[in-house]
Chain A
């Protein structure tokens, strides 16, 4: 009799264990059913390539262009303004009286090719550019650490001067840049801009027509819509000539509001086209030869 009771007890115990296990198994099956479904869905999805966007808030880092291109059928209208040097004292309201402007209209033919035309006060220059997007930074199925853009600018000096009136080609300058940028994270982006500027006409025989420079630009996002930008171009000083110009250094803030981006900055360059601000900067930071300036851009879509 005792043996039967013990056997019964063991059987009941076994049945209890099995039922509990079954209960747990079925319950957890329901709990994870949706997670399993989701996993199944993800497995089917495969690898995607994520292309980086908004490396900079604008098509300009500060003076120089950034790797951002306009999308197809988008226009951007830009107005840039540089005041006079702030070391001029109160009479000129620290340079606010003097205005140097540049405005341009830029268009995205396709996502990967932009064109633009502009006009600036500096040497009454008309300018135009073509911007090609070569590579986009991406992660995922296709990994690319940087974005690469090629920029080609032409500047036409329209001042009324003897040497320029003699030959039209004397008015022309060209600038070629390869823009290489990387967005490190949501806040920080950095760009290198190796540059070649060719001036058809230079002042003296020992002046050089070709100028090489390397641009360093970057931004730190301070909030969703505000970033701090900095830019420096190191110009390779020609050895033959007593080079009278300085390297451009600029600091500023980008403020984005819907369709506008405002860029407020301080820079030692007066010009707003490459040949001017890279090759012909006369202001010196040490002597407070710096200008307050701003860029405003507005994007339209058609």
Chain B
């Protein structure tokens, strides 16, 4: 009597695992960079090894980047960034987990440019904050090109900037994301 029920339950449970299909697009060479401009000093760092994955069926996006992979022109600045500011030994990664809320406006199989409204959680230095921004998505040659720009306040993520050097870091730091996602091979 219970056998069909168990069968159906097992089938349903089987749906919990992630399906491998052309729904997912991935990149391991995403470009994330940030820029702080003050009259005292400009700070700029580029990370060319950001990883990202987009599930086009659900609109879920996950982007992660290693803090140590942010490259500065001045080596000492990079060392201080890692050792004193973001403490990358304690918090090696920064990540964004979110969702495209206007998924129905985007046709991932048709070439074109779309505006994507993304909401999710950004984690830097072990602190997580909800953010919501609009970015550009372009579908081209079967790939997804993502461009986004947003501001980050260091204090929001408990990054301590001592009073002595506070004037050297901008209150709002501009973060830019430029990534090309390709279909994930199953």
Contacts and interface: CB of A to CB of B under 8 A. Distances in A.
Given A25-B16, A258-B165, A34 B75 contact: no
A49 to B, nearest CB: 11
B84 A26 contact: no
Contacts of A301: 73-76
Interface stretch (B58-66, B105-113, B133-141, B143-151): B58-66
B126 to A, nearest CB: 15
Nearest to A37: B62
Interface stretch (A16-24, A117-125, A172-180): A16-24
A45 B51 contact: yes
A44 B76 contact: no
23 contacts: A14-B5, A17-B9, A18-B8, A21-B12, A25-B12, A25-B15, A26-B12, A28-B16, A32-B16, A37-B60, A37-B97, A38-B53, A38-B64, A38-B97, A40-B26, A41-B62, A41-B64, A50-B68, A54-B79, A70-B75, A186-B90, A258-B164, A301-B74
Nearest to B10: A21
B46 interface: no
B51 A53 contact: no
B64 to A, nearest CB: 6
A74 B62 contact: no
A41 B1 contact: no
Contacts of A72: 75
Name A's interface SS.
Answer: helix
Contacts of A35: 97
Interface range on chain A (Cβ under 8 Å from partner): 35 or more
A225 B164 CA distance: 13
Interface string A284-302: 0000000000000001010
Q: Which 5 A-B pairs have the closest CB atoms?
A: A71-B75, A37-B62, A301-B74, A25-B12, A36-B18
Given A37-B62, A38-B95, A74 B76 contact: yes
Contacts of B89: 186
A112 to B, nearest CB: 13
Nearest to B89: A186
B28 A45 contact: yes
Interface string A256-267: 011100000000
A200 interface: no
Interface in B74-125: 74-76, 79-80, 82-84, 89-90, 92, 95, 97-99, 120
Point out which of A28, A34, A71, A299 has the most chain B C-beta atoms below 10 A from its C-beta.
Answer: A34
A34 B8 contact: no
Contacts of A37: 18, 24, 53, 55, 60-62, 97
B76 A18 contact: no
Nearest to A14: B5
Contacts of A54: 79, 82-83
Nearest to B26: A44
A163 interface: no
A242 interface: no
Nearest to B97: A34
Contacts of A50: 68, 92
A34 B80 CA distance: 32
Point out which of A37, A44, A71 has the most chain B C-beta atoms below 10 A from its C-beta.
Answer: A37
Interface in B40-65: 51-53, 55, 58, 60-62, 64
Contact of B76 (A14, A17, A299): A299
A25 B64 contact: no
Contacts of B82: 53-54
Contacts of A44: 26, 28, 51
Nearest to B73: A301
Contacts of B52: 41
Nearest to B77: A301
Contacts of B162: 225
Given A71-B75, A224-B83, A41 B51 contact: yes
A33 interface: yes
A227 to B, nearest CB: 11
B97 A18 contact: no
A203 interface: no
Nearest to A261: B76
Contact of A74 (B58, B60, B75): B75
